[in-house]
Amino acid sequence: MEEEESIEEIMRRVRRLEIRARRLAQEVFSGDYHSSFRGQGLDFDEFREYQPGDEIRFIDWNVTARMETPYIRKFREERELAVILAVDISGSTDYGSDYLSKRERAAEVAALLGFSARYNGDKVGLLLFAKEPVLYLPPAKGGRPVLRAVREILTAKPADPGTSISEASKFLLQTLKRKGLVFFISDFIDWGFEKPLGSLARQHDVIALPMVDPLEKRIPDVGKVYLRDPESGHEVLVNTSNSNTRMGLAKLSKRYREGLASFFNKHGIDSAAISTRDDYLADLHRLFQRRAHRRR
């Protein structure tokens, strides 16, 4: 009975996420998404007579010879993208100091991106990963793949709760045959992933969405507490009443986030931090607008 109630509650959460994500995708992000992401090729459309200002490289010399006047090949953009939602479901993503855990926020963001992609005519796929890839759903069109992705994000239970962004990156490098758009939704609490993720970014359009909980930036004064690593199980006693301890932990957190941002910039990976507590829509909006501005 408890299991049935749990399934019912999960489906209620999926439906709530669907309603919110559909509305945001249609009312807020449809224009941003469309202007920010383009297809990966050009399809031939027709021949037309050359006009001043046209690209000379598009002149078709065979048609030009037959017609005895310059003609160019006209192309139309191939809009369809293969969008992959690469979502971290390691042990650390079950943490949340407020209303939502990182994993729940990841499901919400994935739903929003998935429906935005769907309304743009793109295919949506899913990669769930922890210490190793857990589930891969190839890109497909329609709303059902998005809803299944949300359900899987909320319910999947990895055999090993560790994190390996490297293994996820390698898997996508081997699996994706054409250039795609990859949203990496993770807290990026990992190391040694720079080379594989950098290689993935060279072959595909990668966008990083680091999940951040407010308490990871600044720990409050709550006396002596045990901090437990949800992936290794290791515990350590920390005296949060010690101002030097709190300051030291805050500096470590800031240094890590700055290093992560530097890595993203180096490899041309666009990014926007996703808070488990605060509204993240403005950050996503700015990310999309930056990309749209570069296209213009």
Q: Does position 185 have pLDDT exceeding 90, yes or no? A: yes
Residue for token digits 């993203």?
A: 264
Residue range 12-41, pLDDT digits in tens: 777 877 887 888 887 667 677 777 775 544
Domains of the chain: 2-37+80-295 (3.40.50.410), 42-78 (no CATH)
Q: Check residue 48 and give its pLDDT.
A: 74
Mean of the per-residue pLDDT values of the chain: 85
| pTM of the predicted structure, to 2 decimals | 0.80
Q: Do 172 and 200 meet the contact criterion of CB atoms below 8 Å apart?
A: yes
What is the residue whose two structure tokens read 């501005």?
293
User: Looking at residue 175, what is its pLDDT?
Assistant: 97
Kindly report each contact of residues 120-123 with a partner whose C-beta sits within 8 Å and lies 24 or more positions away, as own/partner.
120/30, 120/33, 120/34, 120/37, 120/79, 120/81, 121/79, 121/80, 122/37, 122/79, 122/80, 122/81, 122/82, 122/83, 122/181, 123/80, 123/81, 123/82, 123/83
Q: How would residue 45 be classed by pLDDT, with cut points 50, 70 and 90?
A: low
Say if residue 75's pLDDT is above 80: no
Asked if pLDDT for residue 100 goes beyond 90, the answer is no
Residue 53: its pLDDT value, please? 67
Give tens-digit pLDDT for 208-217: 999 999 888 8
- Select from 126, 81, 121 the least CA-distant residue to 107: 126
Q: What H or E segment, with its residue span, contains residue 166?
A: helix 165-175
What average pLDDT score do residues 272-290 get? 89
Look at the alpha carbons of 18, 34, 174, 87 in this order and tell me if their dihedral is positive or negative.
negative
Spatial neighbors of 219 by CB under 8 A, at least 6 apart, are 238, 240, 246, 249, 250
